Amino acid sequence: MVELNISGRTRLYGIVADPIAHVKAPQMLNPRFAAAGHDGVLVPFHVSAANLAALMAGLRQVPNFAGASVTVPHKEAMAKLCDSLTDAARQAGAVNVVRRDADGSLHGAMFDGEGFCAGLLAAGHAIAGKRVLIAGSGGAASGIGFALAAHGAAAITFFNRTRVRAEALAARIAADYPNVAVTAGGPDPAGHDIVVNTTMLGLKPGDALPVDPARLTPDMLAVEIIMDPAETAFMREAAARGCCVHPGRPMLDQQITLIGRFMGAPV
């Protein structure tokens, strides 16, 4: 158990999400703060999309607020609330961590893509030359798509129930990576080597599956970014059909140090 010694000098960090119960950043970063002797604490901020701007406007006025990790569904909206962005965040149009600088300005970064790819590579899964289907076209999908293209994926297909969003994201990545075949498509995973769920489907019992499970085959790698539950319905269905499955936790494991350090914490 982490022993917290809150003082008047404690630096405040957060994770911003809706829903919030599934997040893992407090359990991961608070022990690191304690081990480093850092007087800081990371707490969950459960905030709706309608109230996100008000929350951040208030936190700008709090000098001991250092920053926050950002997750669904706020990654794209948070990017618009920042005063400056890293190159990766600007490219993705989304952030998964924001830092409050001394003047109250907010600086955003995106580590999802590199964390995702690092997690795959650490598990022995190749990216170069692979054909990837990504369910979703939000902030996480954007960061992951740009990173997969940078790591040499041969083709990337985005499926989103609102097709225009998938088409817009595909066009942005294709413009930066003309050698990668980037398109919008449907929920059929046939013809792909890697199938990735970046949607919120799987957080609640009874959620629909992100792709057509009948078209999953044993030669495919099924990848999740949801961390709680550790095994989603998509992962169970893919495993039952002989697919190799890769859970959501490695993506966070690979980027948690980058997130902490971006916010100024010695982790």
Q: All domains of the chain, ordered by start, with CATH? A: 11-111+253-262 (3.40.50.10860), 113-251 (3.40.50.720)
Query: What are the angstrom distances between the C-alpha of 30 and each of 2, 112, 162, 265?
Result: 7, 20, 38, 11
pLDDT at 205: 87
Which candidate, 63, 64, 62, 59, places its Cα nearest to that of 82?
59
pLDDT 10s digits, 133-187? 999 999 999 999 999 999 999 999 999 999 999 999 999 999 999 999 999 999 9
Residue keyed to tokens 């199938």: 195
The whole-angstrom separation of Cα 143 and Cα 180 is 16
Burial environment of residue 244 by CB neighbours within 10 A (0 to 12, 13 to 18, 19 or more)? middle
At 153, is the secondary structure helix, strand, or coil?
Answer: coil
pTM, rounded to two decimals: 0.91
Where the chain has pLDDT below 50, the residues are: none
Strands 155-159 and 131-135: parallel
pLDDT 10s digits, 30-39? 999 999 999 9
Q: Find the catalytic residue in 24, 75, 130, 204.
A: 75
DSSP lists the bridge partners of residue 84 as: 107
Is 75 designated active site? yes
**DSSP one-letter string for 59-121:** HTT-TTEEEEEE-TT-HHHHHHH-SEE-HHHHHHT--SEEEE-TTS-EEEE--HHHHHHHHHH
pLDDT at 203: 87
- Residue 214 CB coordination number (10 Å): 11
pLDDT at 3: 64
pLDDT at 260: 96
